Chains A and B, each alone.
Chain A
Amino acid sequence: MGRIVLDKVTKSFGETQVIPPLNLTIEEGEFAVFVGPSGCGKSTLLRMIAGLEDLTSGELHIDGKDMTAVSPSKRGLAMVFQSYALYPHMSVRKNIGFPLRMEGMSKAEIDEKVNAAAKSLNLLNYLDRKPAALSGGQRQRVAIGRAIVRNPKAFLFDEPLSNLDAALRVGMRLEISEMHKSMQNTMIYVTHDQVEAMTMADKIVVLQGGCIEQVGSPLELYKTPKNLFVAGFIGSPKMNFSQGEEASRRGAATIGIRPEHIDVLSEAGIWHGTVGVAEHLGSDTFLHVHDTGLADSITIRAPGDVNFKYGDKISLSPREDVIHKFDAQGQRIE
């Protein structure tokens, strides 16, 4: 249950086409993440799957059935919103049980399912509270609980963690991943945070300007980005690019190398530069190096215990086997 196929779907708002013809298949039980910068159309695409936005053209199939013109309530999907979208006038118990009540389920059955969901989400002590009396994390759990009880064909998450603080976000990320592993439902997750995408996804769909730039597993995208956009978007800190002599020497218009694939040497490396800002994270140090002749500034992920200061001269050596090459159109050269 939960195979979703988008067949040549498009979306236009007036004269503006935000999603050009797009094909995508999300397999049953898959955790797919739509990732891309703000305004790339990822939320619109999710809302089109949910039925909250009409398709301008094309077809949407869920489990082989054409759902293009079916209302959101009849698609059998559940959605968790960025703003939680809880019903403020209902208690947690009523919020979670609401979709079941709409299905016409008996009170005893609703209570049983609500209690089970609340138990799994550590909400048992808050069942009689209103959403206003909950913290951000608890509210998000209630929103997830409301989605879980329906046992939907697929879960849709629209940037669900972006309103939470950093620590809570990491915890909730893990909880959602664990939920996916135990439930094995199809999940589609929208985020602009590539760390969330990399850590959670079975399949990442990178979008830009409504177009799919690349679809693949996190490691595929990391190791073999199809173009400059994906190469720059996936990975943190982002990949360093250089277009000059170093690129043409390797038969490319642009070369890209990730910060973790450049070694800092005490002896002479092939590149030389001056240390700018050094960001010490404990486990790693991000060195921003200038005057290398590659770009204005390149970033290097060095071990946490390196001790360079502003203005120090350093030598660098890239790992040649993981230098990414791109042609003049920005496409990957194998």
Chain B
Amino acid sequence: MAIVAQTSKFAKFARPVLAWCVGLFFFFPIFWMVLTSFKTDADAVKPAFLLFFTPTLENYLNMTENYDYWRFAQNSAITAISATFFNLIVGIPAAYAMAFNPSKATKDVLMWMLSTKMLPAAAVLYPMIFLAKGLGLYDTHILVITVVSLINLPLAIWMLFTYFKEIPKDIIEAGQMDGVNTWGEIKEILVPLAWGGIVSTALLIFIFCWNEAYWTVRLTTIDAATLSKLIEGNRAPEGLFFGRLSAVSTAAVGPIVVIGWFCQKQLVKGLTFGAVK
């Protein structure tokens, strides 16, 4: 008994310490990035000024005045919100159909959708660029929203499908008996019952769309360029301006961190879906 008590006492102490260490380890790059964003480019590379320096807002002022941060942020918001909306509009009916009216092909369709995530993006990069330019869509919102939506759609459908499968089929059938049509089933029964799952899916998709860099950097120049493009644009040929780069990066991840912070509970549910029944 004494040994058990001692072990649990140790575990009680060690676990939080370990958790804090791991947490700090992962948090450090963000902390360092935020700290650096308040340093001048010259101070940013001096080890002596690692923690103690004279903070400046120069980088942020520079970013908003010279780099038009708000336009990039607006483009990021337009892309992420539109793509999330598109994912839900297409994903909810698709997942509903596969969860409640499965056919012989449903399993194969789900696997096929998942397999598209395994396709190396680089393999279709040039066809996409040529296609976009050929259609006159290069550097347009419609192109960025479509591409970002489609690359995230398999994940959205899979997540929604998993949540919908947890809803007893009897309830949907009861709705059918009560005179509800397909739209009514989705609106009156499915969405309210799977609300938590739908919100989790929307949040994750929104984050992925906001953070998307590979395609947004390559398919835009100015008009539809998102914050990823702004960060990439601060890589100067004569070297990295760490202060400026950190400010841009902090301002790019800032909104998503704030959203994530407020929606922690839903996010954890979304990230661990299917893990616990």
Contact = CB atoms under 8 A, between A and B. Distances in A.
B178 A73 contact: yes
Interface stretch (B40-48, B85-93, B169-177, B213-221): B169-177
Contacts of B178: 73, 78, 98-99, 102, 146, 150
A332 B189 CA distance: 51
B16 interface: no
- Greatest chain A CB density within 10 A among B171, B178, B180, B188 is at B178
A77 B188 CA distance: 20
A83 B193 contact: no
Contact of A87 (B177, B184, B189): B189
B120 interface: no
A98 to B, nearest CB: 6
Given A73-B178, A102-B179, A52 B192 contact: no
Given A88-B193, A89-B193, A73 B168 contact: no
A50 interface: yes
Contacts of A87: 171, 174-175, 189, 193
B237 to A, nearest CB: 58
Interface string A61-93: 000000000011110011101110111110000
Interface of B is mostly: helix
Given A78-B177, A88-B193, A89-B193, A102 B170 contact: no
Contact of A85 (B170, B181, B184, B192): B170
B173 A52 contact: yes
A83 B170 CA distance: 7
B22 to A, nearest CB: 38
Nearest to A14: B104
A6 B121 CA distance: 56
Contact of B171 (A71, A72, A85): A85
A150 B178 CA distance: 8
Nearest to B170: A85
- Greatest chain A CB density within 10 A among B176, B177, B179, B193 is at B177
A159 B242 CA distance: 70
A79 B177 contact: yes
Interface string B194-209: 0000000000000000
* Interface size, A (range): 20 to 34
B198 to A, nearest CB: 13
A71 B179 CA distance: 9
A81 B189 contact: no
Contact of B176 (A71, A83, A103): A71
Interface in B31-83: none
B173 A85 contact: yes
Contacts of A52: 173, 176-177
A60 to B, nearest CB: 15
B170 A73 contact: no
Given A85-B168, A85-B170, A102 B180 contact: yes
Interface in A139-159: 146, 150
Interface of A: 50-52, 71-74, 77-79, 81-83, 85-89, 98-99, 102-103, 146, 150
14 contacts: A50-B177, A52-B173, A72-B177, A73-B177, A73-B178, A73-B179, A79-B177, A81-B173, A85-B174, A87-B189, A89-B193, A102-B178, A103-B179, A146-B178
Interface of B: 168, 170-171, 173-181, 184, 188-189, 192-193
Given A77-B177, A81-B170, A88-B171, 5 more contacts: A73-B178, A73-B180, A79-B173, A79-B177, A85-B173
